[in-house]
Amino acid sequence: MTARILVVDDIPANVKLLEARLLAEYFDVLTAEDGPKALSIVESTSIDLILLDIMMPGMSGFEVCERLKANPRTAHIPVVMVTALDQPSDRVRGLKAGADDFLTKPVNDLQLISRVKSLVRLKTLSDELRIRSETARTIGMEDMLKNDGRDDSGHILLVDGRASSQERIIKALKPIGDVIAMSDPQAALFEAAENPIDLVIVNGNAGEYDPLRLCSQLRSLERTRFIPLLLVTDLGDEELIVRALDLGVNDYIVRPIDPNELVARTLTQIKRKRYNDRLRSSVRETIELAVTDGLTGLQNRRYLDNHLKTLFNRAAARGRALSICLIDIDRFKQVNDTYGHDVGDEVLKEFAARIRSTVRGADLACRYGGEEFVVVMPDTDPGQAALIAERLRSIVEAQAFPIRSLGIALTVTASLGIAGNEPGVETPDQLLKQADRALYEAKNAGRNRVVAFAA
């Protein structure tokens, strides 16, 4: 994982220390010695995360964070405040200013890197949703990201093995949400999967169950994958915190719990979830009809033409890899000529389903036209893309396609061409042409194979 991190601190020694730790993990690091310079850098440069000192002359970290979060262009950037202040009131003030987390000086290496990686992962998913919504706007669709009226109380699920701590947490959160408390983690998992939940709070205070096992299960289920998780743990339990963040836990709070900090962290997570929910709703409701292929359910060429430009330009600006896979069903005309277009449509639907089962969450799968499909793979070089394409080719070939209307099964294969944004590739059209040439080579070489473009 790579990302561009901005370190803001007026003490050069602190900057150098954080910079060295981040560079050792292959992050791209920018630095600023004060708030105004930090704001200037963020305005002109793409930043993935900000490590922000609180105590700075002129403009404090609190004010910098407030300005960042008030600006729609920078509000989505995660901010971690790095400070010697360790009072709950300071954390509450920072959270109200929009901070995503805190690291206390001297900074622990494990918590620093795990927290940075966790927040960068969350931002990557949010960025993908945001740029897809931007694509909707560029093709003339209505902006659906305005407030949808969901300012009602949050729906919070508390998993806690002790009645006394359940009571304290429920009392603290009563003004801002409806809390359902459970002591059985499996019952809580079912509750989260079957009902609308805005936040799950997992209190690791009971020896009867592993709180990280529950967090892992919540992250693995489709219905609960995007629900924010807040872990309650003990001060100094660094190993548990690091593992939790690696599993995808969004935030944590240490005992003894300060009620004001709990409320602030809870509101932050609920606000972020509802923002991302609106983004997903925007993608689903405003793009589906206009840019979805009616037969296969994949994005259509209209969407690809617009969104590929965004992905290509973003990859170029950040110096990241981008690969494209052009796919053609072998001898598809024979299927239509022999069995009719209805059977051909069944094959196309099943083929699209197998593409969905193969590609990753950040990949973009489209029906390019006829029996041709495209998969765009961000942060993926041609070598990695070829491995993904080979997996898809194998899945297509391995199992015959069921034709339910005739009660038969057809053997189907596909040819795939790969190209990447390597030096010399300056436009999305050039990238597509190179993938098309690679596909042509795959066809000429006997079909049912993956070929990567070679200059």
List residues with catalytic annotation: 371
The order of strands in the sheet holding 154-159 is 177-182, 154-159, 199-203, 229-234, 251-255
Distance CA 174, CA 162 (A): 18
Distance CA 81, CA 65 (A): 9
Distance CA 214, CA 210 (A): 7
Length of the chain: 455
Residue of 1, 52, 51 lying closest to 25 (CA atoms): 1
- Using an 8 Å Cβ cutoff, are 248 and 121 in contact? yes
- Using an 8 Å Cβ cutoff, are 49 and 120 in contact? yes
In sequence order, what are the residues at sequence separation of 6 or more whose Cβ sits closer than 8 angstroms to the Cβ of residue 436?
A: 326, 417
User: Hey, what are 33's tokens?
Assistant: 């010695």
Distance CA 397, CA 124 (A): 33
In 98-156, which residue ranges form alpha helices assigned H by DSSP? 109-138
Chain-centroid distance of CA 116 in Å reads: 14
User: Hey, what are 188's tokens?
Assistant: 């809580």
Distance CA 307, CA 290 (A): 14
